[in-house]
Amino acid sequence: MFLKRILNTEIFLSQRVFSRANSSWDVVTGVCVERLPVVTPPLNEIQKKYKEFLWTVEVENSLKSDHELRHENDKKQAEILKRESAEVDLDAVSKITAQDFEDSATEEFAQFKFASIETEADKKGDKSTHDRCLQRHLILVTEQKLGSDVKNILPHGQWKEGETLRQTAERVLQEKCGPGLKVDFLSNAPCGFYKYKYPTAVEGKIGAKVFFYYANYKGGDVNFKAKSNWLTRKEMTEVLPDRYNKAIREFLIEETY
């Protein structure tokens, strides 16, 4: 019932938008596809302090682990063995002590090497793949023709009669990027808005009203025919038009470093 209400609200919103737009404005949807970080980003100072605080609270309130209890028992057994007159049950004495286990684990960890977070795409400076900048958020940007100009913008296309905005967004993404790209749309309603006027006279048209939809990248690749790049927040600022980039940044979560 709740999802049905959301869908009905989105359809109502679409109808209101289209009725107000009339024929003077083109109604367009843009899809913001974001690949979330694959590797945990480094913590900033506030996050580090909070992590240390949680660790302190955890240690103060925690009970002793099995390893700690085993370590204490090993110490007791060692003290008994020092007394020559004491009777000791050798079967009860640990053959591998807790300290032996710690030393073995420390040695094994010292030999372990973490995999590099720098990919081949990072080394080559290849921005056409999502397999780069594993600690950063990446946004899919495509090269599209707007009038006589070619711009780097989000995948976008015009609304068609009978579609909801969500349906337009899904169709546009498949048309621009191919069926191989798998994403998860998070809402039936737009998350952002942008409006611009056409630079040259277009018969009966003032400009376009763009309604942005947000989707998380799930898998697959963009069609090889589409000229696209996966950009960081900073790279978006360098490539996208200023007002357009500002409209997108308003609904994106800022990175913490």
What is the H or E stretch that residue 58 is in?
Answer: helix 45-61
Q: How confident is the model at residue 128 (pLDDT cuts 50, 70, 90)?
A: very high
113: three-class secondary structure by DSSP: coil
Q: How confident is the model at residue 52 (pLDDT cuts 50, 70, 90)?
A: very high
In CATH, the number for domain 2-39+118-249 is 3.90.79.10
pTM: 0.76
**Which amino acid type is present at position 199?**
P
- Is the pLDDT reported for residue 6 higher than 90? no
Q: What is the pLDDT of residue 75?
A: 83
User: DSSP string covering 30-48, please?
Assistant: EEEEEEPPSSPPPP-HHHH
The mean pLDDT value for 10-15 works out to 50
The share of the chain scoring above pLDDT 90, in percent, equals 53
The mean pLDDT value for 16-36 works out to 78
Q: What is the pLDDT of residue 202?
A: 64
Sign of the CA dihedral running 21, 25, 27, 28: negative
Q: Mind listing the pLDDT tens digit for each residue in 177-232?
A: 999 999 999 999 999 999 988 876 666 778 889 999 999 999 999 987 778 999 99
Question: In degrees, to the nearest 5, what angle opens at C-alpha 205 toward C-alphas 201 and 208?
Answer: 105
**Which residues are within 8 A (CB) of 58 and not within 5 positions of it... i.e. 6 or more apart?**
none
Q: What is the pLDDT of residue 13?
A: 52
Q: What is the pLDDT of residue 17?
A: 52
CB 153 within 8 A of CB 186: no
Q: How confident is the model at residue 2 (pLDDT cuts 50, 70, 90)?
A: very low
Q: How confident is the model at residue 134 (pLDDT cuts 50, 70, 90)?
A: very high
The better pLDDT of the pair 250, 74 is held by: 250
- Please report, for the chain, the start and end positions of each structural domain, with discontinuous segments joined by +: 2-39+118-249, 45-111
Q: Mind listing the pLDDT tens digit for each residue in 92-102?
A: 555 678 888 88
Spatial separation of the C-alpha atoms in residues 174 and 182, rounded to whole Å:
9
